[in-house]
Amino acid sequence: MFQKWFETDSAAIDIAASIVEASARPETWDSVCDRIAGELDCAAFMVIPYDLASQKALGFHGSSVLRRDPGEWVKTRFVTANPEEDRPGYVTLAASRTGTVLGERDFFRVPEDAPLPENRWRDQILASTGGRGRTAFKLNDSGPQLDCAVSHDLAPSEYASAKVVRAAPFLTPLLQRAIETNRLFAALGRSYAALMSMFDNLNFGAAFCTPSGRIVCTNRMLREMLADQDGLTEANGHLRAVHSADATILRQRMTDATSPLSGPDRLFVSLRRRSGSLPYVVQVVPNRNPDISGDPMVLVTVLDPADPDRIGAEGLRAFQVLSDAELAVCDLIVKGYETRSISEMRGTSIHTVRDQIKSSADKLLCRRKMDVVKLAVLTQPPVRPMPED
Protein backbone atom coordinates (compact mmCIF):
# COMPACT_ATOMS: atom_id res chain seq x y z
CA MET A 1 0.00 0.00 0.00
CA PHE A 2 2.81 2.41 0.89
CA GLN A 3 5.35 1.10 -1.60
CA LYS A 4 4.88 3.94 -4.04
CA TRP A 5 6.56 6.12 -1.39
CA PHE A 6 9.04 3.74 0.28
CA GLU A 7 10.61 0.40 -0.51
CA THR A 8 8.36 -1.53 1.90
CA ASP A 9 5.11 -1.00 3.75
CA SER A 10 6.85 -1.68 7.06
CA ALA A 11 9.31 1.17 6.47
CA ALA A 12 6.47 3.61 5.83
CA ILE A 13 4.55 2.41 8.88
CA ASP A 14 7.68 2.69 11.05
CA ILE A 15 8.34 6.26 9.89
CA ALA A 16 4.68 7.25 10.35
CA ALA A 17 4.72 5.86 13.90
CA SER A 18 7.92 7.72 14.74
CA ILE A 19 6.47 11.01 13.46
CA VAL A 20 3.34 10.50 15.56
CA GLU A 21 5.55 9.89 18.59
CA ALA A 22 7.43 13.14 17.90
CA SER A 23 4.08 14.97 18.14
CA ALA A 24 3.99 14.26 21.86
CA ARG A 25 7.72 13.85 22.48
CA PRO A 26 9.68 16.56 20.61
CA GLU A 27 12.95 15.09 21.88
CA THR A 28 12.51 12.20 19.42
CA TRP A 29 12.54 14.44 16.32
CA ASP A 30 16.23 13.85 15.61
CA SER A 31 15.75 10.09 15.42
CA VAL A 32 12.77 10.68 13.08
CA CYS A 33 15.08 12.62 10.78
CA ASP A 34 17.62 9.79 10.91
CA ARG A 35 14.97 7.26 9.84
CA ILE A 36 13.74 9.41 6.99
CA ALA A 37 17.30 10.10 5.81
CA GLY A 38 17.99 6.36 5.80
CA GLU A 39 14.92 5.54 3.72
CA LEU A 40 15.56 8.38 1.26
CA ASP A 41 19.27 7.51 0.92
CA CYS A 42 20.30 11.07 1.70
CA ALA A 43 23.18 12.41 3.77
CA ALA A 44 20.94 14.40 6.11
CA PHE A 45 17.32 15.36 6.61
CA MET A 46 16.04 18.47 8.39
CA VAL A 47 12.62 19.78 9.49
CA ILE A 48 12.59 23.56 9.95
CA PRO A 49 9.87 25.99 11.09
CA TYR A 50 11.36 29.06 9.38
CA ASP A 51 10.47 32.71 10.06
CA LEU A 52 10.84 34.84 6.93
CA ALA A 53 10.85 38.12 8.86
CA SER A 54 13.79 37.28 11.13
CA GLN A 55 15.42 34.94 8.58
CA LYS A 56 16.01 32.26 11.15
CA ALA A 57 14.59 28.94 12.23
CA LEU A 58 12.12 29.03 15.14
CA GLY A 59 12.98 25.39 15.70
CA PHE A 60 15.35 22.87 14.15
CA HIS A 61 15.27 19.09 13.88
CA GLY A 62 18.00 17.26 12.03
CA SER A 63 19.62 13.87 11.54
CA SER A 64 22.62 12.71 13.56
CA VAL A 65 25.27 14.06 11.18
CA LEU A 66 24.14 17.54 12.27
CA ARG A 67 24.63 16.71 15.95
CA ARG A 68 28.33 15.97 15.77
CA ASP A 69 31.46 17.39 14.13
CA PRO A 70 31.68 18.77 11.54
CA GLY A 71 27.95 19.51 11.22
CA GLU A 72 26.95 20.51 14.75
CA TRP A 73 27.38 24.23 13.98
CA VAL A 74 24.50 24.08 11.48
CA LYS A 75 21.71 24.05 14.08
CA THR A 76 23.21 27.04 15.91
CA ARG A 77 23.48 28.96 12.67
CA PHE A 78 19.89 28.18 11.68
CA VAL A 79 18.34 29.33 14.95
CA THR A 80 20.41 32.51 15.21
CA ALA A 81 20.23 33.83 11.64
CA ASN A 82 20.15 32.01 8.32
CA PRO A 83 22.49 33.57 5.74
CA GLU A 84 21.05 35.96 3.20
CA GLU A 85 22.06 33.68 0.32
CA ASP A 86 19.20 31.26 1.04
CA ARG A 87 16.49 33.86 1.68
CA PRO A 88 15.25 34.05 -1.97
CA GLY A 89 14.74 30.28 -1.93
CA TYR A 90 12.65 30.36 1.24
CA VAL A 91 10.55 33.17 -0.23
CA THR A 92 9.92 31.02 -3.32
CA LEU A 93 8.99 28.00 -1.19
CA ALA A 94 6.67 30.10 1.00
CA ALA A 95 4.76 31.27 -2.10
CA SER A 96 4.30 27.68 -3.30
CA ARG A 97 1.52 25.23 -2.52
CA THR A 98 1.75 22.80 0.34
CA GLY A 99 3.69 19.72 -0.69
CA THR A 100 5.65 21.53 -3.43
CA VAL A 101 9.10 19.95 -3.90
CA LEU A 102 11.97 22.11 -5.18
CA GLY A 103 15.53 21.38 -6.16
CA GLU A 104 18.26 24.05 -6.11
CA ARG A 105 17.41 25.43 -9.56
CA ASP A 106 13.69 25.80 -8.84
CA PHE A 107 14.39 26.92 -5.26
CA PHE A 108 16.26 29.97 -6.57
CA ARG A 109 14.21 30.32 -9.79
CA VAL A 110 17.26 29.96 -11.99
CA PRO A 111 16.56 29.48 -15.74
CA GLU A 112 17.80 26.34 -17.50
CA ASP A 113 20.52 28.18 -19.37
CA ALA A 114 21.89 30.07 -16.34
CA PRO A 115 24.34 28.84 -13.68
CA LEU A 116 23.30 28.52 -10.05
CA PRO A 117 24.18 31.58 -7.94
CA GLU A 118 27.27 31.37 -5.77
CA ASN A 119 26.25 30.30 -2.27
CA ARG A 120 28.98 29.80 0.31
CA TRP A 121 26.41 28.82 2.97
CA ARG A 122 25.13 25.98 0.79
CA ASP A 123 28.64 24.80 0.04
CA GLN A 124 29.62 24.83 3.74
CA ILE A 125 26.58 22.97 4.97
CA LEU A 126 26.80 20.32 2.25
CA ALA A 127 30.49 19.84 3.00
CA SER A 128 29.57 19.25 6.67
CA THR A 129 26.90 16.65 5.93
CA GLY A 130 28.44 14.98 2.90
CA GLY A 131 25.55 15.96 0.67
CA ARG A 132 25.95 17.07 -2.95
CA GLY A 133 22.60 18.74 -3.54
CA ARG A 134 19.49 19.88 -1.68
CA THR A 135 15.79 19.20 -2.07
CA ALA A 136 13.17 21.14 -0.10
CA PHE A 137 9.42 20.70 0.25
CA LYS A 138 6.77 22.85 1.88
CA LEU A 139 4.75 21.43 4.78
CA ASN A 140 2.19 24.04 5.82
CA ASP A 141 -0.47 25.93 3.90
CA SER A 142 -0.86 28.98 6.15
CA GLY A 143 0.53 30.75 9.18
CA PRO A 144 3.12 33.39 10.00
CA GLN A 145 6.02 31.06 9.28
CA LEU A 146 7.19 28.57 6.70
CA ASP A 147 7.38 24.94 7.80
CA CYS A 148 9.61 23.00 5.47
CA ALA A 149 11.74 19.90 5.17
CA VAL A 150 15.14 19.73 3.47
CA SER A 151 17.14 16.71 2.36
CA HIS A 152 20.86 16.72 1.60
CA ASP A 153 21.07 14.38 -1.36
CA LEU A 154 24.02 12.13 -2.07
CA ALA A 155 23.66 12.36 -5.84
CA PRO A 156 24.87 15.64 -7.40
CA SER A 157 21.90 17.35 -8.99
CA GLU A 158 20.43 20.80 -9.43
CA TYR A 159 16.95 19.28 -9.47
CA ALA A 160 14.74 17.68 -6.82
CA SER A 161 15.61 14.16 -5.69
CA ALA A 162 13.27 11.60 -7.28
CA LYS A 163 12.97 9.72 -3.95
CA VAL A 164 12.01 12.90 -2.09
CA VAL A 165 9.45 13.77 -4.79
CA ARG A 166 7.96 10.30 -4.38
CA ALA A 167 7.90 10.44 -0.55
CA ALA A 168 6.74 14.06 -0.12
CA PRO A 169 2.96 13.38 -0.47
CA PHE A 170 3.23 10.81 2.32
CA LEU A 171 5.52 12.82 4.61
CA THR A 172 3.98 16.29 4.23
CA PRO A 173 0.73 15.84 6.22
CA LEU A 174 2.42 13.72 8.88
CA LEU A 175 5.29 16.13 9.48
CA GLN A 176 3.03 19.16 9.45
CA ARG A 177 0.58 17.73 11.97
CA ALA A 178 3.45 16.79 14.23
CA ILE A 179 4.90 20.32 14.07
CA GLU A 180 1.49 21.89 14.72
CA THR A 181 0.97 19.57 17.69
CA ASN A 182 4.35 20.58 19.07
CA ARG A 183 3.37 24.24 18.69
CA LEU A 184 0.04 23.65 20.40
CA PHE A 185 1.64 21.81 23.32
CA ALA A 186 4.26 24.55 23.67
CA ALA A 187 1.56 27.26 23.68
CA LEU A 188 -0.49 25.33 26.24
CA GLY A 189 2.63 24.90 28.35
CA ARG A 190 3.32 28.63 28.30
CA SER A 191 -0.31 29.41 29.16
CA TYR A 192 -0.28 26.89 31.99
CA ALA A 193 2.98 28.32 33.35
CA ALA A 194 1.55 31.86 33.27
CA LEU A 195 -1.66 30.70 34.95
CA MET A 196 0.23 28.85 37.68
CA SER A 197 2.44 31.90 38.23
CA MET A 198 -0.67 34.00 38.86
CA PHE A 199 -2.10 31.26 41.09
CA ASP A 200 1.13 31.19 43.09
CA ASN A 201 1.03 34.94 43.63
CA LEU A 202 -2.49 35.13 45.00
CA ASN A 203 -2.60 37.15 48.20
CA PHE A 204 -4.03 34.19 50.13
CA GLY A 205 -3.62 30.44 50.34
CA ALA A 206 -5.61 28.51 47.75
CA ALA A 207 -6.14 24.89 46.79
CA PHE A 208 -8.38 22.99 44.39
CA CYS A 209 -9.68 19.88 46.11
CA THR A 210 -12.20 17.12 45.65
CA PRO A 211 -15.17 17.20 48.08
CA SER A 212 -13.35 14.57 50.16
CA GLY A 213 -10.43 16.95 50.60
CA ARG A 214 -7.98 15.31 48.21
CA ILE A 215 -5.64 18.04 46.99
CA VAL A 216 -5.48 18.57 43.23
CA CYS A 217 -3.17 21.60 43.29
CA THR A 218 -2.11 24.34 45.72
CA ASN A 219 -0.52 27.75 45.40
CA ARG A 220 2.75 28.81 46.99
CA MET A 221 1.18 30.52 50.01
CA LEU A 222 -0.88 27.50 50.99
CA ARG A 223 2.16 25.25 50.58
CA GLU A 224 3.94 27.50 53.09
CA MET A 225 0.99 27.19 55.49
CA LEU A 226 0.98 23.41 55.13
CA ALA A 227 4.72 23.29 55.78
CA ASP A 228 4.21 25.22 59.04
CA GLN A 229 1.50 22.74 60.16
CA ASP A 230 0.15 25.52 62.34
CA GLY A 231 -3.55 25.36 61.46
CA LEU A 232 -3.55 23.18 58.33
CA THR A 233 -1.70 20.08 57.26
CA GLU A 234 -1.60 17.54 54.46
CA ALA A 235 -2.37 13.94 55.33
CA ASN A 236 -2.14 11.26 52.63
CA GLY A 237 -2.68 13.88 49.94
CA HIS A 238 -5.73 15.36 51.70
CA LEU A 239 -6.20 18.83 53.19
CA ARG A 240 -6.76 18.57 56.95
CA ALA A 241 -7.08 20.94 59.92
CA VAL A 242 -4.60 20.23 62.72
CA HIS A 243 -7.32 20.27 65.42
CA SER A 244 -9.63 17.27 65.19
CA ALA A 245 -12.82 19.25 65.80
CA ASP A 246 -11.87 21.77 63.12
CA ALA A 247 -10.92 18.93 60.77
CA THR A 248 -14.43 17.51 61.04
CA ILE A 249 -15.99 20.89 60.28
CA LEU A 250 -13.64 21.54 57.34
CA ARG A 251 -14.47 18.16 55.80
CA GLN A 252 -18.16 18.90 56.21
CA ARG A 253 -17.77 22.32 54.56
CA MET A 254 -16.07 20.78 51.54
CA THR A 255 -18.86 18.21 51.24
CA ASP A 256 -21.55 20.87 51.73
CA ALA A 257 -20.03 23.10 49.06
CA THR A 258 -21.04 20.72 46.29
CA SER A 259 -24.68 20.78 47.38
CA PRO A 260 -26.87 23.29 45.51
CA LEU A 261 -28.77 23.89 48.76
CA SER A 262 -25.74 25.15 50.68
CA GLY A 263 -26.03 28.73 51.84
CA PRO A 264 -23.07 31.10 52.24
CA ASP A 265 -22.90 30.51 56.00
CA ARG A 266 -22.06 26.86 55.35
CA LEU A 267 -18.98 27.74 53.31
CA PHE A 268 -16.88 29.46 55.99
CA VAL A 269 -14.86 28.04 58.88
CA SER A 270 -12.15 29.38 61.19
CA LEU A 271 -9.26 27.07 62.04
CA ARG A 272 -7.43 27.28 65.33
CA ARG A 273 -3.65 27.27 65.27
CA ARG A 274 -1.06 25.52 67.37
CA SER A 275 0.93 28.74 67.70
CA GLY A 276 -1.99 30.54 69.33
CA SER A 277 -2.07 33.14 66.54
CA LEU A 278 -5.33 34.42 65.14
CA PRO A 279 -7.28 31.58 63.46
CA TYR A 280 -7.13 31.05 59.72
CA VAL A 281 -10.26 32.20 57.92
CA VAL A 282 -11.26 29.55 55.37
CA GLN A 283 -13.85 29.77 52.62
CA VAL A 284 -14.86 26.80 50.49
CA VAL A 285 -16.08 27.83 47.02
CA PRO A 286 -17.85 25.22 44.89
CA ASN A 287 -17.12 24.72 41.21
CA ARG A 288 -20.43 24.18 39.48
CA ASN A 289 -19.11 24.79 35.96
CA PRO A 290 -18.79 21.45 34.12
CA ASP A 291 -16.57 23.12 31.50
CA ILE A 292 -13.83 23.57 34.10
CA SER A 293 -14.04 20.12 35.61
CA GLY A 294 -16.35 17.22 34.90
CA ASP A 295 -15.87 15.95 38.46
CA PRO A 296 -17.01 17.83 41.58
CA MET A 297 -14.34 20.28 42.71
CA VAL A 298 -14.03 22.95 45.39
CA LEU A 299 -11.68 25.91 45.77
CA VAL A 300 -10.45 26.33 49.34
CA THR A 301 -9.13 29.82 50.15
CA VAL A 302 -7.26 30.53 53.37
CA LEU A 303 -6.65 33.99 54.83
CA ASP A 304 -4.12 34.56 57.60
CA PRO A 305 -5.26 37.54 59.71
CA ALA A 306 -1.95 37.49 61.58
CA ASP A 307 0.04 38.31 58.47
CA PRO A 308 0.11 42.12 58.13
CA ASP A 309 1.54 41.96 54.62
CA ARG A 310 -1.34 39.96 53.20
CA ILE A 311 -4.49 41.32 54.76
CA GLY A 312 -5.58 44.83 55.65
CA ALA A 313 -8.14 47.55 55.06
CA GLU A 314 -6.22 49.65 52.55
CA GLY A 315 -8.73 48.75 49.85
CA LEU A 316 -11.44 50.62 51.75
CA ARG A 317 -9.67 53.86 50.90
CA ALA A 318 -11.11 53.59 47.38
CA PHE A 319 -14.61 54.41 48.68
CA GLN A 320 -13.31 57.87 49.75
CA VAL A 321 -15.65 58.08 52.75
CA LEU A 322 -13.34 57.18 55.67
CA SER A 323 -11.05 59.50 57.55
CA ASP A 324 -7.44 58.46 58.11
CA ALA A 325 -8.25 57.59 61.72
CA GLU A 326 -11.24 55.46 60.71
CA LEU A 327 -9.19 53.69 58.05
CA ALA A 328 -6.47 52.91 60.62
CA VAL A 329 -9.05 51.49 63.03
CA CYS A 330 -10.59 49.36 60.26
CA ASP A 331 -7.14 48.06 59.39
CA LEU A 332 -6.61 46.86 62.96
CA ILE A 333 -10.09 45.29 63.03
CA VAL A 334 -9.31 43.32 59.86
CA LYS A 335 -6.06 42.14 61.39
CA GLY A 336 -8.08 40.62 64.23
CA TYR A 337 -7.57 43.05 67.10
CA GLU A 338 -10.33 43.60 69.65
CA THR A 339 -11.71 47.04 70.50
CA ARG A 340 -9.76 47.33 73.77
CA SER A 341 -6.47 46.38 72.09
CA ILE A 342 -7.07 48.96 69.36
CA SER A 343 -7.72 51.58 72.04
CA GLU A 344 -4.43 50.78 73.75
CA MET A 345 -2.46 50.68 70.51
CA ARG A 346 -3.81 54.01 69.30
CA GLY A 347 -3.72 55.75 72.66
CA THR A 348 -7.41 56.70 72.53
CA SER A 349 -10.37 55.88 74.73
CA ILE A 350 -12.39 52.77 74.09
CA HIS A 351 -15.44 54.97 73.50
CA THR A 352 -13.61 56.82 70.72
CA VAL A 353 -12.70 53.54 69.06
CA ARG A 354 -16.29 52.33 69.25
CA ASP A 355 -17.52 55.59 67.74
CA GLN A 356 -14.97 55.26 64.91
CA ILE A 357 -16.05 51.67 64.23
CA LYS A 358 -19.73 52.67 64.14
CA SER A 359 -19.00 55.68 61.96
CA SER A 360 -16.97 53.55 59.54
CA ALA A 361 -19.71 50.92 59.32
CA ASP A 362 -22.36 53.59 58.68
CA LYS A 363 -20.30 55.24 55.94
CA LEU A 364 -19.66 51.86 54.29
CA LEU A 365 -23.33 50.83 54.62
CA CYS A 366 -22.36 47.91 56.82
CA ARG A 367 -24.58 46.65 59.62
CA ARG A 368 -21.88 45.31 61.92
CA LYS A 369 -18.16 45.09 62.40
CA MET A 370 -17.88 41.72 60.64
CA ASP A 371 -19.41 43.24 57.50
CA VAL A 372 -16.59 45.81 57.50
CA VAL A 373 -14.07 42.97 57.72
CA LYS A 374 -15.68 41.12 54.80
CA LEU A 375 -15.76 44.29 52.70
CA ALA A 376 -12.09 44.95 53.46
CA VAL A 377 -11.18 41.40 52.42
CA LEU A 378 -13.13 41.80 49.16
CA THR A 379 -11.24 44.99 48.33
CA GLN A 380 -7.87 43.43 49.12
CA PRO A 381 -5.70 43.07 45.99
CA PRO A 382 -5.94 39.38 45.03
CA VAL A 383 -2.36 39.19 43.73
CA ARG A 384 0.64 40.21 45.76
CA PRO A 385 3.34 42.34 44.08
CA MET A 386 5.97 40.39 42.18
CA PRO A 387 9.56 40.73 43.44
CA GLU A 388 11.48 43.38 41.56
CA ASP A 389 14.13 40.88 40.48
pLDDT of 192 higher than 60: yes
Is the same domain home to 223 and 179?
A: no
Over residues 112-167, the pLDDT tens digits come to: 889 988 999 899 889 989 999 999 999 998 777 899 999 999 999 999 999 999 99
Is the same domain home to 231 and 322?
A: no
Q: Which one is predicted more confidently, 388 or 132?
A: 132
Is the same domain home to 46 and 170?
A: yes
For residue 388, being part of any structural domain is answered with no
Over residues 297-322, the pLDDT tens digits come to: 889 999 887 776 666 788 888 889 99
For residue 384, being part of any structural domain is answered with no
Confidence of residue 2 (pLDDT cuts 50, 70, 90): very low
Is the same domain home to 86 and 220?
A: no
For residue 354, being part of any structural domain is answered with yes
Distance, in Å, from the CA atom of 151 to the CA atom of 182, rounded to the nearest integer, reads 21
Residue where a domain stops, chosen among 303, 336, 361: 303
Over residues 199-224, the pLDDT tens digits come to: 888 878 999 999 899 999 999 999 99
- Please state the pTM of the whole predicted model: 0.64
Q: Which one is predicted more confidently, 65 or 81?
A: 65
Instruction: Please confirm whether the linkage preceding 70 is cis (ω < 30° from 0).
Output: yes
Beta strands in the chain (DSSP E): 42-51, 56-57, 61-62, 101-103, 133-138, 146-153, 205-209, 215-218, 232-235, 238-241, 268-271, 280-287, 297-303
Is the same domain home to 186 and 224?
A: no
Look at 132-136, 177-181, 276-280, 355-359 and tell me which has the smallest mean pLDDT. Answer: 276-280
For residue 2, being part of any structural domain is answered with no
CATH of the domain at 339: 1.10.10.10
Is the same domain home to 72 and 212?
A: no
Residue where a domain stops, chosen among 161, 192, 223: 192
pLDDT of 366 higher than 50: yes
Task: Give the three-class secondary structure for 299.
Answer: strand
Q: Note the pLDDT of residue 375.
A: 84
The mean per-residue pLDDT over the stretch 53-59 comes to 84
pLDDT of 1 higher than 60: no
Q: Note the pLDDT of residue 306.
A: 73
Is the same domain home to 26 and 126?
A: yes
Domain count, the chain: 3
Over residues 260-302, the pLDDT tens digits come to: 655 555 677 889 999 988 788 888 888 765 555 557 888 999 9
CB 234 within 8 A of CB 226: yes
For residue 386, being part of any structural domain is answered with no
Distance, in Å, from the CA atom of 101 to the CA atom of 136, rounded to the nearest integer, reads 6
For residue 177, being part of any structural domain is answered with yes
Is the same domain home to 20 and 159?
A: yes
The secondary structure of residue 383, as a DSSP letter, is B
CB 316 within 8 A of CB 364: yes
CATH of the domain at 168: 3.30.450.40
Q: Note the pLDDT of residue 261.
A: 59
Percent of the chain clearing pLDDT 90 (strictly above): 48
The burial class, CB within 10 Å (0-12 / 13-18 / 19+), for 52 is middle
Q: Note the pLDDT of residue 262.
A: 55
CB 61 within 8 A of CB 47: yes
For residue 298, being part of any structural domain is answered with yes
9 backbone dihedrals φ, ψ, rounded to 5°: -65, -40
For residue 387, being part of any structural domain is answered with no
| Owning domain of residue 174 | 9-192
CATH of the domain at 247: 3.30.450.20
pLDDT of 389 higher than 50: no
The mean per-residue pLDDT over the stretch 29-36 comes to 94
Is the same domain home to 216 and 160?
A: no
Confidence of residue 347 (pLDDT cuts 50, 70, 90): very high
Confidence of residue 382 (pLDDT cuts 50, 70, 90): low
Is the same domain home to 295 and 374?
A: no
Is the same domain home to 58 and 180?
A: yes
Residue where a domain stops, chosen among 273, 303, 333: 303
Is the same domain home to 156 and 284?
A: no
Mean pLDDT, all residues of the chain: 86
